[in-house]
């Protein structure tokens, strides 16, 4: 080989630089390409100082006059005072939903469909406002609320709108009936998206709903109430009762509710299942997970790294289907971890409203404490911790993207759902071992497979006990695609034709 200046032994020398030309030299040697702040405007979402409960088509104060404060978790700045729904309020909402039920269920499906289409369109129209609102109340990066949450919310209403007049063709009998009043309790990680997952199929099937949004993220549901108003939705078809776990418990226990749909923690899911036992109320649960993201040595590595990053750091890892366990084949462990760490250092942590932010704030002090406590347990149990070196804002709830190596199945961080930006790295040697480790959990919500070998993907997918298996991708969602778990990740599916079953009297 000819000696060329391009090929030298020191990593710092290289092809002879082609000197930049110009009347003045090229822009100075900045430390990288410092992106200037690019904040989305807060003013896009006008948040009122206080909100009432939305019952029977009207906003009203809580019966006991109580309220609670919802915060911007990135700054701890109070956003609004929200009415705290008690037993009387839940009762009023259930009665409003019951009153509205016969007329709503009696509407021709095509008419119900049009209401849902209207809602979908209004969400699209107001999506920028709603994205800002969601980011402020939740702490998630505007890039995600804008590019993931809101498009999926609108798409979900669009998808189920189209089912409303086609239920006879859905495989649940020729004249499937709605259940009645659906009580729906949703979490704080995707406030508006979880609302859409619950409300859209319920309404399409002819049910009326009482929805209890999460305590820390009530605002987008209240904005949704306004969207219902704009759409001309009949009063009482959608009722929003804000509050905390006690409010949710009132709703679950209310005898006037025919169906409970819950997304949240497995512990609460079990409590709800016990409450509902013997009542005949239909129940669907979408609960926790400890998803295994399995990387083989023949994986498309750069995309696998992206999939791992998206799998655990999307929404600060506060995702039930997060790929929180990385199972990497030992033969590629070193290379993959080096690439992963290199990639993690490019994550931009900070102001959720900045369009260039990749990692926003943790949703609440309580959640931050849980993440901190589990990561401390990880260190105490001997796993090796590595966190992205980054400066975290002083106000608000923040946690640096973190990964643990040297994790074994017995560690708490390999077993318990952390629900935060923390990845546990385990290794395997054979496909059988990967399956065994992946399935070694009471959960069964999601799994990922990374390999270029098609037959291995199918072999693995067949054996993984998980409701959603992403092969050579991760954390993809679509209204047409059923979502839900095995075992303690819950039961019932949301999305797709399967999602209708939860809101029809199928047996």
Partner 1 sequence: MSGKPQKAQKPQKPQKSQKPPKGSTQDRHDEQQTGRTGQDRPDRPREERTTAVRLNVFRTYKLFIGGAFPRSESGRVYQVTDTAGDWLANAPRASRKDARDAVVAARKAFPRWSGATAYNRGQILYRVAEMLQGRREQFAAEVAAAEGLPPGTAAARVDAAVDRWVWYAGWSDKVAQIAGAANPVAGPYFNLSTPEPTGVVAVLAPPESSLLGLVSVLAPVIATGNTAVVVAAEPAPLPALSLGEVLATSDVPGGVVNVLSGRTAELAGPLAAHQDVNAIDLTGAGPDPALARELEKAAAENLKRVFRPRAEDWTAGQSTDRLLAFLETKTVWHPMGV
Partner 2 sequence: MPQTASAFADVAASDAALRRFLHGLPGVDAVGLQARAAALATRSIKTTAKAYAIDLAISMVDLTTLEGADTAGKVRSLCAKGRVPDPADRSTPRVAAVCVYPDMVPVARQALAGTEIKVASVATAFPSGRAALPVRLADTRDAVAAGADEIDMVIDRGAFLSGRYLQVHDEIRAVKAECARPGGEPDAHLKVIFENGELATYDNIRRASWLAMLAGADFIKTSTGKVAVNATLPGTLLMLEAVRDFHAATGTRVGVKPAGGIRTTKDAIRYLVLVNETLGADWLSPDRFRFGASSLLNDLLMQRQKLSSGRYSGPDYVTVD
Q: What mask, x for binding partner 1 by CB under 8 A, covers residues 460 to 489?
A: -x----xxxxxxxx--x-x-xxxxx-xxx-
* 3-class state of residue 195 by DSSP: helix
- Tally Cβ neighbours within 10 Å of residue 504: 22
Size of residue set near partner 1 by CB under 8 A:
44
- Least distance from partner 2 to the Cβ atom of residue 305, Å: 9
40 is catalytic: no
Q: Rounded to whole angstroms, how far apart are CA atoms 388 and 103?
A: 56
In the complex with partner 2, which residue's Cβ is closer, 97 or 327? 327
The answer to the question of residue 36 lying near partner 2 (CB under 8 A) is yes
Could you give the CA distance from residue 381 to residue 398 in angstroms, rounded to a whole number?
23
Say how far apart CA 477 and CA 481 lie, in whole Å.
Answer: 7
Among 31, 49, 255, 389, binds partner 2 (CB under 8 A): 31
State residue 470 phi and psi, 5-degree precision: -100, 120
Structure tokens at 139: 């702490």
When the beta carbons of 330 and 432 are compared against partner 1, the nearer one is 432
Closest CA relative to residue 46, chosen from 118, 132, 141, 125: 132
Nearer to partner 1 among residue 115 and residue 470 (C-beta): 470
Buried b / exposed e across 264-275, counting CB within 10 Å, b at 16+?
bebebbeebbee
Binding mask 400-439 toward partner 2 (x if CB under 8 A, else -) reads ----------------------------------------
CA pair distance 282, 262, nearest whole angstrom:
11
Distances (CA, A) of 281 to 86, 95, 180, 255, 368: 21, 16, 10, 9, 34
- Residue 16 touches which of partner 2, partner 1, none (Cβ within 5-8 Å per kind): partner 2
Binding-site member from 269, 311, 350, 396 for partner 1 (CB under 8 A):
269
Token digits for 339? 């690439």
- In whole angstroms, how close is the CB of 47 to partner 1 at the nearest point? 31
> How far apart (Å, rounded) are the C-alpha atoms in residues 53 and 281?
25
Binds partner 2 by CB under 8 A, chosen from 17, 255, 278, 389:
17
Residue 44: CB atoms within 10 Å? 16
Distance in angstroms (rounded) separating the CA atoms of residues 207 and 236: 11
Catalytic (active site) residue 452: no
Listing DSSP states for 43-112 in one string gives: GGS---SEE-EEETTEEE--TT--EEEEEETTTTEEEEEEE---HHHHHHHHHHHHHHHHHHHHS-HHHH
In the complex, the smallest distance separating the C-beta of residue 306 from partner 1, rounded to whole angstroms, is: 12
The residue from 243, 269, 291, 307 that contacts partner 2 (CB under 8 A) is: 307
Decide: is 20 part of the binding site for partner 2 (CB under 8 A).
yes
| Interface stretch with partner 2, choices 32-40, 256-264, 439-447, 455-463 (CB under 8 A) | 32-40
- Binding status of residue 33 toward partner 2 by CB under 8 A: yes
Catalytic residue among 286, 416, 417, 488: 286
Give the torsion through C-alpha atoms of 109, 113, 115, 117, to 10 deg. Answer: 180
Q: Write the binding mask 134 to 153 for partner 2: x where contact by CB under 8 A, - elsewhere.
A: ---------x---x------
**HEC assignment per residue over 278-307:** CCCCEEEEECCCCCEEEECCCCCHHHHHHH
Residue located via tokens 């105490």: 380
Tokens of 197: 């997952």
Give the shortest CB-319-to-partner 1 separation in angstroms: 15
Which residues, 155 to 194, sit near partner 1 by CB under 8 A? 155, 171
Identified binder of partner 1 from the candidate list 66, 169, 270, 429, rule CB under 8 A = 270
Q: Which lies closer to partner 2 via its Cβ, residue 176 or residue 352?
A: 352
Question: Which of 404, 397, 390 has the alpha carbon at shortest distance from 352?
Answer: 397
Q: Examine residue 197 and tell whether it contacts partner 1 (CB under 8 A).
A: no
41, interface contact from partner 2, partner 1, none, CB < 5-8 Å by kind: none
- Our CB check for partner 1 shows the closer of 170 and 390 to be 170
Task: Provide, rounded to whole angstroms, the least separation between the CB of residue 17 and partner 2.
Answer: 4
**Nearer to partner 2 among residue 184 and residue 357 (C-beta):** 357
Please identify which of the residues 40, 134, 228, 320 carries the catalytic annotation: 320
**Residue of 472, 487, 498, 506 that binds partner 2 (CB under 8 A):** 472
Counting DSSP H helices and E strands in the chain, the numbers are: 15, 18
Residue 36 binds which entry of partner 1, partner 2, none, with Cβ cut-offs from 5 to 8 Å by kind?
partner 2
Cβ-based nearer residue to partner 1, 22 or 280: 280
Site residues for partner 2 per CB under 8 A: 1-27, 29-38, 143, 147, 298-303, 306-307, 346, 355-356, 452, 472-473
Residues known to be catalytic: 286, 320
Site residues for partner 1 per CB under 8 A: 155, 171, 266, 269-271, 273-274, 276-278, 280, 285, 287, 442, 444, 457, 461, 466-473, 476, 478, 480-484, 486-488, 490-491, 493, 496-498, 506-507
């Amino acid at each position: 080989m000819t000696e060329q200046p391009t090929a030298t032994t020191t990593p710092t020398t290289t092809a002879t630089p082609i000197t930049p030309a110009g009347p003045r030299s090229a822009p100075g040697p900045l430390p990288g390409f410092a992106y200037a702040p690019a904040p989305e405007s807060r003013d896009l979402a006008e948040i009122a100082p206080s909100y009432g409960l939305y019952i029977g088509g009207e906003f009203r104060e809580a019966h006991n006059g109580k309220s609670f404060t919802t915060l911007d978790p990135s700054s701890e700045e109070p956003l609004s005072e929200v009415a705290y729904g008690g037993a009387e309020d839940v009762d009023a909402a259930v009665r409003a939903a019951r009153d509205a039920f016969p007329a709503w269920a009696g509407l021709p499906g095509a008419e119900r469909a049009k209401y849902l289409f209207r809602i979908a369109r209004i969400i699209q129209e107001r999506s920028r406002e709603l994205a800002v609102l969601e980011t402020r109340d939740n702490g998630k990066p505007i890039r995600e609320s804008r590019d993931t949450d809101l498009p999926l919310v609108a798409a979900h209403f669009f998808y189920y709108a189209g089912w409303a007049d086609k239920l006879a063709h859905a495989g649940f009998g020729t004249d499937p009936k709605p259940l009645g009043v659906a009580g729906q309790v949703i979490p704080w990680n995707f406030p508006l998206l979880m609302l859409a997952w619950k409300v859209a199929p319920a309404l399409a099937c002819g049910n009326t709903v009482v929805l209890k949004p999460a305590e820390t993220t009530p605002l987008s549901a209240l904005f949704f109430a306004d969207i219902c108003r704009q759409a001309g939705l009949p009063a009482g078809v959608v009722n929003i009762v804000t509050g905390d776990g006690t409010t949710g418990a009132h709703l679950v226990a209310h005898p006037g509710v025919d169906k409970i749909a819950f997304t949240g923690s497995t512990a609460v899911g079990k409590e709800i299942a016990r409450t509902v036992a013997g009542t005949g109320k239909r129940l669907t649960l979408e609960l926790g997970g400890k998803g295994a993201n399995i990387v083989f040595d023949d994986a498309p590595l750069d995309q696998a790294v992206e999939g791992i990053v998206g799998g655990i750091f999307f929404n600060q890892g506060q995702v039930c289907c997060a790929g929180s366990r990385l199972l990497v084949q030992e033969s590629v462990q070193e290379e993959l971890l080096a690439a992963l760490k290199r990639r993690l250092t490019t994550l931009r942590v900070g102001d959720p409203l900045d369009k260039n932010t990749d990692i926003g704030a943790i949703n609440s002090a309580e959640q931050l404490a849980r993440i901190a406590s589990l990561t401390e347990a990880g260190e105490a149990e001997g796993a090796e911790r590595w966190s992205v070196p980054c400066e975290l804002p002083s106000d608000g709830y923040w946690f640096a993207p973190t990964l643990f190596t040297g994790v074994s199945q017995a560690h708490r961080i390999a077993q318990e759902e952390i629900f935060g930006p923390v990845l546990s790295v385990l290794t395997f040697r054979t496909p059988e071992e990967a399956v065994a480790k992946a399935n070694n959990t009471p959960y069964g919500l999601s799994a990922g497979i990374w390999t270029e070998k098609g037959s291995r993907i199918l072999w693995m997918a067949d054996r993984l006990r998980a409701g959603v298996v992403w092969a050579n991708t991760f954390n993809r969602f679509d209204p047409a695609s059923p979502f839900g778990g095995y075992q303690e990740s819950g039961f019932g599916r949301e999305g797709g034709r399967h999602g209708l079953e939860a809101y029809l009297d199928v047996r």
